[in-house]
Structure 1
Amino acid sequence: MEENNIRNLLRRYLSGACNPEERARVEQWFELLESNKVKIDDADLEEDIAEVRARLVAPLRKKRKLYRYAAAAAVLFAVAMGSYLYLIHRSSDGIKKTEKLASSAADIAPGRNVATLQLADGTEIALDDLSNGAIAQDGSNTIYKNGDGQLTYVAADGAYTGKMVSNTLKTPRGGQYQLTLPDGSKVWLNAASQLTYKISKIAPERLVELQGEAYFEVAKDARRPFKVRSGNQVVEVLGTHFNVSSYDDDPSIKTTLAEGSVKIVETDGRSNVTLEPGQQATLDHKNRLSVARVDVSDAIAWKNGKFSFNQTDIHAVARQLSRWYNVEVVFKGKVANINLSGEVHRNTNASKVLEILSFYNLNCKIEMIDGTKRIVIE
């Protein structure tokens, strides 16, 4: 098949416009990719198709909804066919046109491991400016910066003081960081987030306060429950894996359980829910709690270095892009309230992520205004 025919067919599949024969053709193509029956003569193209196959096989084995991987494949296939990134838009007379995205000089680099640590005395340490190794002493704890954006506390043997002090880890827009708390719990902090936590082991409970988003792997300690306060809710656990997304500009707080059990309590005490693995609790702006079963991998995709959109509202997608690429996202004209599906790595430039939007007839571009880049969607 020619490139344009493939792209058009995938777009119709995503929009549900395929007839039964076309739908079968798309699904057969993915089955061929998975079974390694596709033969490509060109060496470079064959290498790129191999990457497409590698990213598709595992999800397909889980029998998840295929349209998500059609979107992902469309993105990767466009790269495979010569690394051209196209955006589709409608002209004033309603005719579709295709234009090449801005050159790499106008692209936007992805976020990276960058954060600031605020000690109990107010001292702030820019972690990205420091070499690996011991970076500070706070009470009886030595704080180490490890490779790949990790922060760890190591306490002197038996040297715990009665002084209750807190530290705060902050990530900017375009940053992320990983933290091992003094109790051994691990935390991944997403962009534009901050976590405040006690560094003493003698506190009767392990209470942390979150603004933004974080994924937690909590160390078991039956004597001291672990609690996460975020917005108008508190998550209570003993030992489990879960994700909390609590950004001020999001319409709700979402708590997703990957393993174990958690209890979510509104701070006013009016209601609470207990989650099972695979469930997500949503606390809306009216403090109404609801529970739904979700695909956990979507909620924690950011922690695994991916954007994963599964019928995600276009405005929610824009907020994620804005935080990770540290850029303003602007909507021009009347943009349909559409939901997007697709998956792409977060370590790519913004242009490759924007490619997903092209399959929904959205015109996207990166503009430079007074020396500042922004993403425009119309």
Structure 2
Amino acid sequence: MEHHRLQYLIEQYSKDQINAEELHELNQWYESVDYSSKSFDEWVSESRGEEELINQLYERFDFKVKANKRVINLKRTYRAIGIAASITIVFLIGFALNKQQKMQLTAKASIQKAIIPGSDKAILKLANGQQIVLDSQRTGTIASQYGVSITKNSKGQIVYKNPTGSSKQPYNLEAYNTIETKRGGQYSIQLPDGTKVWLNAASSLKYPLHFSKNERRVELTGEAYFEVAHNKNQPFKVISNNQEVRVLGTHFNINAYDDEPAVSTTLLEGSVLIRNLSSRESQMLVPGQQANIAKNDLKISTVNTEQVISWKKGYFLFDNMDISSIMRVISRWYDVDIQYSDIDKSETFGGTFSRQADLTEILHDLQQLGHVHFKIEDRKITIGK
């Protein structure tokens, strides 16, 4: 196939304008390519070299699967190009800039059954010890404590409010509630001060029914995204794993899972003060920055905030992540256990997936693009070569 013809077909495919005849032609071309043969080298040469060909194709390889509840835009991180296509075909093209290393991506799936994703579910623990399974509650008032009503709105969010708006309502500064998600769960809540919090899987947030006059203090385990209601006279503080975050009103994400190498706080809007509770070192963050605290070290860096909060928006964005980091995220959301067997954990991957996709779909695509092989037994995933 001539280079310009192939380029046209790929353009048509990427625009979702390819017809059945052209799709068949594109599939035929893919099936005819032998990555290890001289004919492939000649084809690349006719296309005016690997470098130019890769650059041309990469600009157009921003494909998204149109299948229901699935979004993919995958690439491997040692300068290779790949795409995973829709229900009708599996279209994989790999090119390496190093002529001595040509990749052939294969899929030898050992996937046995679909594992469904997590959902909105959590447990609310009240000050009196009562526990409420939130996902089984209907819309409306679910509890009332010390003049504060707790309701579940039509969007499934838990909202705290004082029905009368009166400061004379009886209250107890020692009365705390805790909202907790297990693996495979997530939930959102509006605190008594109007602050909104989105809780990721395997996480918990402890907070008072009534904040003190001097500060608004909460305790976090796991991961949460905060949109803090502004109050210059009452700073909002989040305590998590050897870290204190102090704000007046802003948007930020905290990842404080015990199995992560560091506690990460990422700022989206406003400003926050990060304090390492061990070393007492403090740093201010500006939007786009992330603070990482590991033991006594506090480091600041600029990050891709879209990746950090992708979970809140309903998808995974893996950008140059090693397989261990990816599988920790997957383990929490799909409630599965991970085991490794003779694998290079330093190999990195990139990709975008819907959090509503079946886990088997995600593993299938990762397997196609890397030196990994997944085996599923009940809710245990073994990863090998």
User: So what's the TM-score if we normalise by structure 2?
Assistant: 0.77
Match of 2:252 in 1: 242
Residue 277 of structure 1: CA displacement?
0.1
Report if aligned partners of 2:124, 2:133 keep a CA contact under 8 Å in 1. yes
User: In 1, Cα distance between the equivalents of 2:354 and 2:81?
Assistant: 10
Q: 1:310-321 counterparts in 2 under 5 A?
A: 310-321=319-330
Please state whether the residue corresponding to 1:323 is helix, strand or coil.
helix
C-alpha spacing 1:176/1:314, structure 2 compared with 1 (3 Å): same
User: In 2, Cα distance between the equivalents of 1:173 and 1:138?
Assistant: 28
- Deviation string 1:179-215 (CA, Å, 9 cap, x unpaired) is 0001000000000000000111444210000000000
The answer to whether structure 1 residue 134 and structure 2 residue 141 are counterparts is yes
Match of 2:217 in 1: 207
Report if aligned partners of 1:362, 1:377 keep a CA contact under 8 Å in 2. no
Match of 1:38 in 2: none
The amino acid that maps onto 2:311 is W
User: In 1, Cα distance between the equivalents of 2:81 and 2:266?
Assistant: 24
The answer to whether structure 1 residue 143 and structure 2 residue 150 are counterparts is yes
User: In 1, Cα distance between the equivalents of 2:360 and 2:83?
Assistant: 14
Unaligned runs of 5+ in 2: 1-25, 36-48, 93-102
More helix by share: 1
Match of 1:41 in 2: none
Moved more, 293-302 or 263-272: 263-272
Match of 1:117 in 2: 124
User: In 2, Cα distance between the equivalents of 1:131 and 1:21?
Assistant: 59
User: In 1, Cα distance between the equivalents of 2:340 and 2:135?
Assistant: 33
The answer to whether structure 1 residue 27 and structure 2 residue 58 are counterparts is yes
C-alpha spacing 1:27/1:98, structure 2 compared with 1 (3 Å): closer
Match of 1:197 in 2: 207
- Deviation string 1:38-62 (CA, Å, 9 cap, x unpaired) is xxxxxxx9x659x97xx87xxxxxx
Please state whether the residue corresponding to 1:173 is helix, strand or coil.
coil
Match of 2:16 in 1: none
Report if aligned partners of 2:375, 2:381 keep a CA contact under 8 Å in 1. yes
C-alpha spacing 1:84/1:177, structure 2 compared with 1 (3 Å): farther
Of residues 234, 257, 263 in structure 1, which corresponds to 2:273?
Answer: 263
C-alpha spacing 1:318/1:182, structure 2 compared with 1 (3 Å): same
Report if aligned partners of 1:301, 1:307 keep a CA contact under 8 Å in 2. yes
- Deviation string 1:221-257 (CA, Å, 9 cap, x unpaired) is 0110000000101000000000000001111000000
User: In 1, Cα distance between the equivalents of 2:232 and 2:107?
Assistant: 59
Query: What is the aligned-residue identity percentage?
Result: 36
Q: Please report the RMSD computed on the Cα atoms of aligned residues, expressed in angstroms.
A: 3.2
Please state whether the residue corresponding to 1:102 is helix, strand or coil.
coil
The amino acid that maps onto 1:24 is N
Residue 360 of structure 1: CA displacement?
3.8
Please state whether the residue corresponding to 2:283 is helix, strand or coil.
strand
Match of 2:313 in 1: 304
User: So what's the TM-score if we normalise by structure 1?
Assistant: 0.78
Which segments of structure 1 move beyond 6 Å, counting only runs of 4 or more? 5-8, 65-68, 70-73
User: In 1, Cα distance between the equivalents of 2:315 and 2:124?
Assistant: 25
Unaligned runs of 5+ in 1: 9-17, 35-44, 57-64, 86-93
User: In 2, Cα distance between the equivalents of 1:128 and 1:256?
Assistant: 29
The amino acid that maps onto 1:300 is I
User: In 2, Cα distance between the equivalents of 1:268 and 1:7?
Assistant: 58
Please state whether the residue corresponding to 1:143 is helix, strand or coil.
strand
C-alpha spacing 1:66/1:328, structure 2 compared with 1 (3 Å): closer
C-alpha spacing 1:321/1:130, structure 2 compared with 1 (3 Å): same
C-alpha spacing 1:160/1:366, structure 2 compared with 1 (3 Å): farther
User: In 1, Cα distance between the equivalents of 2:196 and 2:219?
Assistant: 15
Count of residues paired in the alignment:
329
- Deviation string 1:121-165 (CA, Å, 9 cap, x unpaired) is 111111112112111111111111124441111212205334111
Residue 19 of structure 1: CA displacement?
2.3
